[in-house]
Every structure is written in structure tokens, then in C-alpha cells.
């Protein structure tokens, strides 16, 4: 029986960051999709229903917080784990992200072990509903 991999969606417009993140997440055993734009990311999330979404804060089309709010507003995508990746550690931004409803707020560059652990935790949730 073939190993069905969990899907992850990365929403990031900087190609280099997207490529690196994809590489890392793939090595954690995920099948990775990439969107370079918030609107496209939302569209792909609805269609593909990934297990986890890693999104940047600043995005063209629809920025990170708006994307997360849209995901939470839709019953189909409400339960997807969302990690917000950002390079700025600023309380205001963290607050915005949490208000929008992210599960984790992660600073770039992330600590590999921590990120791996967080991704594993997502997969091992049996009911797919956030705690």
C-alpha cells in the first residue's frame, strides 16, 4: 500500500524563501504545494485542503492576516493548522497574527528542531481539529 503523504501549502512570494521552506517541509515527509500570492493561496487551500499552511505575513493579493481570517471564516478550511512565518519579531505583528487565528507564529530563520516538532504535532492530531 502506497504511503499517502500529508499535504502542506506554503504561501510565500519570495522564491528563495519558498524554495528553502519547501525543501525543509518535504524532508519532514510532506507533499508540498506553493502559492506566491494570498488570493491564490486561499483558492488552493479550499481546493487541496492541506494538513498545514505556512504563510508569510506580507503577501501580494491578500496579506497573511487577511488570508488566515478568510480560512477561519470558511467551514471547510477552518480546521487547517496555520503557521505564520515572519522575519520580524514585533509585538504588534504577533498580536495581529494571533488575532487573525494562527496556530503558531514562527520567526525566520526558524529553529529546525522546533519546526520539525511542530509539523509532527500537526500530523499526529487524530481528529484534525485544533485544540
Partner 1 sequence: MTEMDEILKEFVVESRENLDQLERDLIALESTPSSTDTLGSIFRTVHSIKGAAGLMQLPKLEALAHSGESVLSQLRDGALVINPAIAGGLLALADGMRQMLLHIDRSGGEGDVDCTAIVERLARLQQSSVPGPAAAGTRPDTVDGTRPVQSGIRVNVDLLDKLMNLVGELVLSRNEIVQFSSLQEHSVLLGTSQRLSAITTQLQEGIMKTRMQPIDTVWNKLPRVVRDSAEFCGKRVRLEMEGRDTELDRTLIEAIQDPLTHVVRNCIDHGLETPEQRIAAGKPAEGRLLLRAFHDGGQVTIEVSDDGAGIDVAAIARKAIEGGLLTPEQTRLMSEQDLVNLIFLPGLSTASKVTSMSGRGVGMDVVKTNIEQIGGRVTVHSQAGAGTTLRMRIPLTLAIMTALVVTSGDECYAIPQVNVLELVRVDAGEATQRIERIRDVAVYRLRGELLPLVWLHTELGQNGFQRLAADGAANIVILEADGVKFGLVVDEVRDTQEIVIKPLGRHVRAIAMFAGATIMGDGRVVLILDISGLAVKTHLLSNVRERGSVRHDAALEDTIARGEALLLVAGPDEGQMAIPLSQITRLEAFDRSALERVGGREVVQYFGDILPLATIASLLPEHAPRSRTPHGEHDGAVHVLVHTRDDRRVGVIVDRILDTVEHGLEDLRPATRSGVRGSVVIQGRVTEILDLDLICGGLGAPRPVWGQAVAPPELVGAEA
| Contact flag: residue 48 with partner 1 (CB under 8 A) | no
| Contact flag: residue 123 with partner 1 (CB under 8 A) | no
Residues 93-122, mask of contacts with partner 1 (x by CB under 8 A): x--x-----------xx-------------
C-alpha 18/C-alpha 126 separation (Å) is 28
C-alpha 103/C-alpha 7 separation (Å) is 17
CB of 8 to partner 1, least distance (A): 17
Percentage helix, strand, coil for the chain under 3-state DSSP, each rounded to 5: 45, 20, 35
Cα distance from N-terminal residue to C-terminal residue, the chain: 31
CB of 110 to partner 1, least distance (A): 9
Return the C-alpha cell found at 44. 488552493
Chain positions contacting partner 1, by CB under 8 A:
13-17, 19-20, 23, 36-37, 40, 58-61, 63, 87, 92-93, 96, 108-109
Amino acid at each position: 500500500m502506497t504511503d499517502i503523504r500529508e499535504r502542506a501549502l506554503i504561501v510565500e512570494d519570495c522564491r528563495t524563501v519558498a524554495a528553502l521552506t519547501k525543501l525543509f517541509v518535504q524532508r519532514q515527509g510532506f507533499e508540498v504545494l506553493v502559492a506566491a500570492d494570498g488570493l491564490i493561496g486561499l483558492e488552493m487551500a479550499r481546493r487541496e485542503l492541506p494538513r498545514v499552511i505556512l504563510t508569510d505575513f506580507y503577501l501580494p493579493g491578500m496579506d497573511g492576516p487577511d488570508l488566515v481570517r478568510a480560512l477561519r471564516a470558511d467551514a471547510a478550511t477552518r480546521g487547517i493548522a496555520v503557521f505564520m512565518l515572519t522575519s520580524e519579531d514585533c509585538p504588534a505583528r504577533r498580536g495581529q497574527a494571533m488575532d487573525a487565528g494562527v496556530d503558531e507564529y514562527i520567526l525566520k530563520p526558524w529553529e529546525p528542531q522546533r519546526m520539525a516538532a511542530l509539523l509532527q504535532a500537526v500530523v499526529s492530531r487524530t481528529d484534525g481539529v485544533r485544540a
